[in-house]
Structures are given as C-alpha cells and as structure tokens.
Amino acid sequence: MEKKPSSSLDYALVFGALMLLWVILSGKLDAFHLSLGLISCAAVTWMSGDLLIGAGSSLGLARRMVRLFRFLNYLLWLTWQIVLANIAVFKLAFAPRTAWQPHIVWHRTALTTDLEKFLLANSITLTPGTVTVRIFGDMLCIHAIDDVSAAGINGEMDRRIAHIFE
C-alpha cells in the first residue's frame, strides 16, 4: 500500500480513538480529567497521528466504517474459532499419545500486504491445532498438531481476511 500524506480525517479518527480509550481508562467524567485527556490526546495525535492504524490511506469515512464493521464481524468468527481451538487442545492434552500427529505444513497465501499477512498468521495461531512458525514471503510455515487441524488450512481464512480489505 502506497503511503500518502495523512488527511485531516486520519487525525480526527486517531484523536477519536485515543479519546475513547482515555475515557474508558480514566473513568472520570469531570471537566478536569476530560481536559487533561483532551490535551494529551491532541499532543499524541499531533506528534504521531500519521503512524497509527489506517493513516495514509485515501479511503473515505464510509469505506473505513465498512472495513471496521467487517473486521468486528471477523473478530466474532475468530472468537468462535478460539473456543473450538481450546476444546480441541483440551481433548488432545488428555488423549492417548497415538492421537497426536504433529507435522509441518506449508501454505501459500494470496494476501499481499503486511497487515493482512499478520492477521492471517495471528488467526492461524489462534485457531484449532495450528501455530504459525514463520512467514517466508507468501509461504507460511505452520505446525499442525494433527491431520484434522492441518486440513483446516484451506484458504477459507484467506478469503475472509481478503473480504475485510476488499
């Protein structure tokens, strides 16, 4: 993704996100603490607003909201996968040793940007029976703990992640 100069929308979004975090973490809604938050969030936005997420992309507000919504939707799906992963690991931990078939699988992904690959690697690690060991270009080195979980690496997750950013 090409880096473009940050727009005022970038700064507004970063400031909004920081301010929201401030209010949640401080928990005090009086004028003194809110103005402290305003000052520090403005300072951080001014100094590093162009470094934070989403900065430099030329997308409008509507597209970004769509992305955010899809991302949250993806997180829900991921949470369900985490539940399945934990049940699978729990079963395997108490299973006889013959139930384990640890091996390495390689997966070629069509995703291109670093953020997408990071999301994919993180999601693979969080889902049942698979851990991303390393990324080499477009190849992911994945350790699978049994055949069933290795079969789960079939590109469905790639499609879901590509759908967020399309």
Q: Does the footprint of other proteins cover residue 137 (CB under 8 A)?
A: yes
Q: Quick one: which of 123, 153, 161, 164 contacts other proteins (CB under 8 A)? A: 123
In the complex, least distance from residue 139 CB atom to other proteins, rounded to whole angstroms: 5
Q: What does the H/E/C string look like for 43-108?
A: HHHHHHCCCCCCCCCCCCHHHHHHHHHHHHHHHHHHHHHHHHHHHHHHHHHHCCHHHCCCEEEEEE
Name the 3-class secondary structure at 145.
coil
For residue 149 the two structure tokens come to 């979980």
Residue numbers 15-54 binding other proteins by CB under 8 A = 21, 24-25, 27
Among 11-19, 39-47, 52-60, 71-79, the segment contacting other proteins (CB under 8 A): 71-79
Strand partners, 131: 143
List residues near other proteins by CB under 8 A. Answer: 21, 24-25, 27, 75, 78-79, 82-83, 85-86, 89-90, 92-94, 97, 100-106, 108, 121-123, 125-126, 129, 131-134, 136-137, 139, 141, 143, 145
